[in-house]
Structure 1
Amino acid sequence: MTYLRLLVRRHRLLLSAWPLLLVVLTGATVTAYQDTYATDAQRQAAAELARENAASTLMYGELPEPGTVAQMFAWEVGAITTILAAIAAVLVAVAATRATEDDGTLELVRSTGTDPRTPLRAALVVLVGVASVLAVGSATAVALVGALGGVDAVTSSGAAAFGAVLGATFLLVGTGAVVLAQVAPAAGGARALGLAAVGLAFAVRAIADSQDLRWLNWFSPLGLRATVRPFTDNRWWVLLVALLASAALARLGTALAARREYGAGLVPAPPLRTSRLHVRSSLGLAARLDRRSILIWTVGVASLGTLFSAMGSGVVEQSRDQELDGFLGSQLGTADPVAGYFAYSGTVVGLVVCAYSVLSVSRYDRDETAGRTALILTAGVRRWVPLAAQLGATALGAAIVLTATGLLGALIAPSVFTGSSVATRALGYTLGQWPAAMVMAAVAALLVGCRPRLVWLAWVPLAASGVLALLGELLGIPRAVRDAGIFQHVPDIAGPDPYYGGLALLLAVALVGVVLGLVGATRRDVVAG
């Protein structure tokens, strides 16, 4: 119990911020669907559009029949919140397990004679506790707000199933991340593996729904929503299967932890090269070390962008024929639907690239903890240079990822969409996300430069900006508040009068954050492992 209290106290911000965000998001959005789809005709039209649009199915899954307000809420908001819950699970699981080894906390605790099995058991209890809070909180919020707002088809059993799906998704991904944490050589690698597993789970879920292979949802934590079907069937027995799978993963993680060396993973770190590494600057070194990561992200993000470019013609044509309501209508807006669609797909790509920026800058913290930064400083470089070099490599990597994605979209889009300046818009709305990626890199640099232990907070503004961009108009959030997010400022470069002031403001904010982060790095001691 003492170590459990230590974990909760030390990570109290992380353990409270994510559940609070998800509970508020679910409670605040449920009434918006009742207001948006006020009549049966509006609901039927929106449901038919959602089922016919391949891009919607890829992103959110299959909308159940008959498409009630509650079902549309679980379809759209459920897809976003389960992804956020999965990301939170990875961060919490790694912070409570391998990160305590990397920063020396666990070594200090074990020196007091604590049972070696206690820390991992305490971390699993933390995961169960957060999952329970998330499930109960979101279910209560949806049920209460739905009842008070008179939202159609929001039942207490459906709300409970919806909350249970969020909690079970968090627990399933969290226990899986615990297993991966025993495999990876360090906490940074465990986070990367965990987030890669979330991406793979999304891909499996997307294939299952878009290709009518529903059985594949059983092999993806993000497919749990499609198999439980909140507000439709409420299959509680599926949740029991998910809990049993989580228990099996927890048992596997415990067994693997007993078979690895302290501070190391079951898969050892790659051996050091005996040949010389010819680099002439800190930036060259950072870029050389990040090249494999940049290649992987480029392939993954470009594939995602290509899918959106190839699957959006249906919704654009329907937007031209009739006025769209709901989520898709809020994304396409009232202007040219081609511009609206590429603004939406650019936002999705921007979210992923911003996640890359946060992870890339966070690598500086891992290098410093492992002692690599101290070795670089012995060469006579200034204290702020290694962080600046990592920022430079991140900026270059984000530019490469966005350029490759934009060029592929520009090549494919003209053969799918009809209209003017299709290729220009496909490229412009993708490249326009680079300033947003730089803002997130600057936020991560500010945190890692001043307080490395709080670098996880960089995910909070990213998640908040994503919610404002994807759900802000649907929720009736004022335009001034939505503009506070980082994804609302890309202009239509093919439009009559594009405005670039928003992008300039983002770059100015990024510059200020970078400068403050570099100053913070020079005013504290180097953390060495």
Structure 2
Amino acid sequence: MTTAIPHEHTSGNMTLSRFSSLIGTLKLLAFMLRRDRIRLPLWVFGLSLMMLYFANALGTVLTDEALTSMAALASSPMFALIGGPGYGFDSITVGKIIVGVYSVYIMIGAALMSILTISRHTRVEEQSGRAELIRANIIGRHAPLAAALILVALMNLLLVGLLAVIFQFSAIEVDSFQSSLLLASSIGSAGLFFAGVTAVTAQISAYSRTASGIAGVVLAVSFVVRGLGDMSFVQGGNLGWMSWLSPLGWAQQTAPLTLDRWWPLIISLLVTTFLIALSFVLQTRRDLDAGLLPDRLGEATAPTWLRNSLTFAFLLQRSTLLWWSFALLLGGLIFGAFVQPMAENAEGMPPEIMIVFGGSDKMVEGYLGFMGLYFAIMSAIYAILAAQSLRTEEEMVRTETLLAAGISRKGWLESWALVTMLGSLILQTLAGFGVGIGASLTTGDWSLCRSALIGHIIQTPAVWLLFGIAITFYGIAPRFIGVTWAVFAWGAALSLFGDILQFKDAVLATSVFRTIGQYPNETISWGVIGLLLALSIALLTIGVQGFRRRDLVAT
């Protein structure tokens, strides 16, 4: 016996099907807001506190003499690399310093917030199997992605509002609220852009680590491209157009307090809209829990070298390490090539630059030493992300399966730590090799290759100490592993800007990156290196013992 479907019901289903892909979006949004009731305010208020600190502390501390020094530093390509093009520094104010130097790092924070949030609520949900359970209800195909994008948009809008108010009513005394709103909007536009990037990468790969990693590579490339363009711009070169290839460059080209132009944000908005639309189109072309890139079939039997936890940890990190190695080697070659222009223009640079780099006769050595510090900060990002990957493995229930196969907790964590520490050493070596080769090719002095290589390698213990902090949190309280990023940010900020802002030595000494010495411009402090190694081992030991005693967690 068959039953005919009433015509009215069929017509209703056809009408419903037109909008079914977004059914349940608001309910999922409410659920995501509840899940992120702690993460959301931590991200938004944390980035807002950075602006609050910069605006009020610098507005109170910087004297007229310090402002004059900052104006002189604006002509340095190194200053353009770490901050930006320095619009309006010919009539410098504290507000322009924040806009031209510090705002890019809040943009990076907003970008990371968006990348991790989109990945958490899309690809991680599919990878863990929770998305399949949710889709068993009346939930549209595109609803999870749409809800995640709306959530990130709300986070960035809230961030924009708070930043604008903080900047306007800080000790800087900004005249126009339009400038404050423009600065905040430029930061929010960077966050939204990388939300769109991650929405696309989440469709490409079936794994959250790869999706977030590709988005992170886009962020890193954006920073490097912007830096190269700005370095050329301040030197009067012909590569300034490269800044316009970077979403971070679009945000900085608004130049609040100087040019106050909104139209560069239109570029960011249009590209973001295209990326979001592309992500929905790509999602219709793949199955749930699958990526557009097909999974590579493994061998029927494991290779002979894959016999223990150490080789398995290397297998899991191999792809990430290869990408990072390529990026840092290429970055080293590019930045090393700037040694010759720095040396040629040394006599014409302001005295403040001479002090930072040890005088005009030590400009090359000072630049190489700074590059060792700069790439140590990059390698520390790799190490901290590797530590966070341990928690992801645990939440995806893969760690539990691995431990059930006869691998001890101690052996697994120690193996992962060893691979990460050797990986960071390899990254520093490749970066130093790249800088040395680039410098030697442009100057003809091949002794610089050795100096650059040593100067980069000796910075590795600082990276290991941060990794040890992250492992300690993972072993004892994995939910607080993100605190490591605060320690990292503090150390990086003091290393990059501490001398410029004339902080006291006691404050500068709290940065983990400033303890070893920037060889070849400074003497290597071997005692400090030994202390950092001892602290790293102690922290790793604490983390391993904590991991052995606590229960495995899953979300």
TM-score range, shorter chain: 0.7 to 0.9
Q: CA deviation at 1:451?
A: 4.9
Select which of 476, 485, 495 maps to 1:469: 495
- Higher mean C-alpha displacement, 208-217 vs 289-298: 208-217
Select which of 296, 302, 309 maps to 1:282: 309
How has the CA–CA distance of structure 1 residues 372 and 221 changed in structure 2, closer, same or farther, with 3 Å as cutoff?
same
Select which of 329, 335, 338 maps to 1:308: 335
Alignment of 1:486-505 (within 5 A): 486-492=512-518, 498-505=524-531
Select which of 252, 255, 258 maps to 1:229: 255
How has the CA–CA distance of structure 1 residues 420 and 330 changed in structure 2, closer, same or farther, with 3 Å as cutoff?
farther
Q: Take 1:8 and 1:465, find their aligned partners in 2: how far apart are those partners?
A: 32
Q: Take 1:219 and 1:418, find their aligned partners in 2: how far apart are those partners?
A: 31
Q: Take 1:110 and 1:404, find their aligned partners in 2: how far apart are those partners?
A: 46
Q: CA deviation at 1:177?
A: 0.9
How has the CA–CA distance of structure 1 residues 41 and 501 changed in structure 2, closer, same or farther, with 3 Å as cutoff?
closer
Q: Secondary structure at the match of 2:332?
A: helix
The aligned counterpart of 1:181 is 202
Q: CA deviation at 1:172?
A: 1.0
Q: Take 1:269 and 1:402, find their aligned partners in 2: how far apart are those partners?
A: 31
Q: CA deviation at 1:276?
A: 3.5
- The CA deviation string for residues 175-231 of structure 1, in whole angstroms up to 9 with x for no partner, is 221221122212111111110111232344345443645555454311212432222
How has the CA–CA distance of structure 1 residues 253 and 415 changed in structure 2, closer, same or farther, with 3 Å as cutoff?
closer
The aligned counterpart of 2:86 is 63
- The CA deviation string for residues 89-136 of structure 1, in whole angstroms up to 9 with x for no partner, is 212221232223334554454455445544333211221122112222
Q: Retained in 2: the 8 A contact 1:350–1:430? A: yes
Correspondence 1:82 to 2:103? no
2:215 is aligned with what amino acid?
G
Q: Retained in 2: the 8 A contact 1:429–1:490? A: no
Percent identity between matched residues is: 25
In the superposition, the TM-score normalised over structure 2's length comes to 0.81
Q: CA deviation at 1:389?
A: 1.1
Select which of 435, 442, 452 maps to 1:426: 452
Q: Secondary structure at the match of 1:469?
A: helix
The aligned counterpart of 1:164 is 185
The aligned counterpart of 1:144 is 169
The structure number with the bigger radius of gyration is: 2
Alignment of 1:213-224 (within 5 A): 217-224=243-250
Correspondence 1:25 to 2:25? no
Q: Take 1:425 and 1:96, find their aligned partners in 2: how far apart are those partners?
A: 46
The aligned counterpart of 1:253 is 279
1:487 is aligned with what amino acid?
F
Q: CA deviation at 1:166?
A: 0.3
The aligned counterpart of 1:269 is 295
How has the CA–CA distance of structure 1 residues 218 and 40 changed in structure 2, closer, same or farther, with 3 Å as cutoff?
closer
Q: Take 1:483 and 1:16, find their aligned partners in 2: how far apart are those partners?
A: 30
Q: Take 2:153 and 2:428, find their aligned partners in 1: how far apart are those partners?
A: 38
Q: Take 1:363 and 1:40, find their aligned partners in 2: how far apart are those partners?
A: 42
Q: Retained in 1: the 8 A contact 2:369–2:519? A: no
- The CA deviation string for residues 14-72 of structure 1, in whole angstroms up to 9 with x for no partner, is 3233333433333433473893654997566444x23xx3x444444433356332444
1:284 is aligned with what amino acid?
T
Q: Take 2:72 and 2:521, find their aligned partners in 1: how far apart are those partners?
A: 30
Q: Retained in 2: the 8 A contact 1:491–1:499? A: yes
How has the CA–CA distance of structure 1 residues 473 and 133 changed in structure 2, closer, same or farther, with 3 Å as cutoff?
farther
Q: Take 1:125 and 1:496, find their aligned partners in 2: how far apart are those partners?
A: 50
The aligned counterpart of 1:480 is 506
2:249 is aligned with what amino acid?
G
CA RMSD of the aligned region, Å? 3.6
Q: Take 1:468 and 1:296, find their aligned partners in 2: how far apart are those partners?
A: 28
Q: CA deviation at 1:486?
A: 1.9
Select which of 335, 352, 360 maps to 2:386: 360
Q: Secondary structure at the match of 1:487?
A: helix
Q: CA deviation at 1:237?
A: 3.0
Q: CA deviation at 1:170?
A: 0.6
The aligned counterpart of 2:419 is 393
Q: Retained in 1: the 8 A contact 2:339–2:364? A: no
Q: Secondary structure at the match of 2:525?
A: coil
Q: Secondary structure at the match of 2:337?
A: helix
Q: CA deviation at 1:345?
A: 1.8
For structure 2, which runs of at least 5 residues remain unmatched after alignment?
A: 1-25
In the superposition, the TM-score normalised over structure 1's length comes to 0.84
